[in-house]
Amino acid sequence: MTSTAKCRIALLILLCAASPAHAGTCAQEIAHTQVQLDRAIENDAGSHGWKPESLNALRNHQPTPRSLAEAESGDGMDFTAALDALDRARAADHIGDIAACSRELAHARAILR
């Protein structure tokens, strides 16, 4: 094996090893924002008083953050838009687009304020 081939292999290994570390920077912020959003949805869920159970609840389906957000979006807060922004942030983080990830996180956080 020539020294050029060895250098190429070493560079490829280095690039592959650096990718997960780079992707993780936005992932931590996404997880933190998800916790804040889940907390806001749960706090809002009980603030509107009693509502009849949905068909899914009667069928013993467990609620998801998205189903709670759709049912409880009150006080002018659009939780589904924040969840959509977090989904877009995850997609951007997955492909390594840190700028798009940061932009979507900022959008989700703005909804939470």
Give 36-65 pLDDT, tens digit per residue.
Answer: 998 888 887 666 666 677 677 677 777 776
Distance CA 21, CA 62 (A): 34
Mean pLDDT of 77-88: 89
The answer to whether the CB of 44 falls within 8 A of the CB of 77 is yes
Residue 82 has pLDDT above 60, yes or no: yes
Distance CA 89, CA 97 (A): 9
**pLDDT band, residue 35 (cuts 50/70/90):** very high
The answer to whether the CB of 27 falls within 8 A of the CB of 97 is no
Mean pLDDT of 72-87: 78
Residue 32 has pLDDT above 90, yes or no: yes
**pLDDT band, residue 70 (cuts 50/70/90):** low
- How many Cα atoms occupy the beta-carbon half-sphere of 54 within 13 Å? 10
**Percentage of the chain exceeding pLDDT 70:** 58
Domain ranges of the chain: 23-112
Residues in Cβ contact with 26 at an 8 Å cutoff, skipping those fewer than 6 apart = 89, 92, 93, 98, 101, 102, 105
* Closest C-alpha among 18, 15, 19, 65 to residue 45: 65
Residue 72: what pLDDT? 61
Residue 20: what pLDDT? 52
The answer to whether the CB of 36 falls within 8 A of the CB of 108 is no
Instruction: Give this prediction's pTM.
Output: 0.61
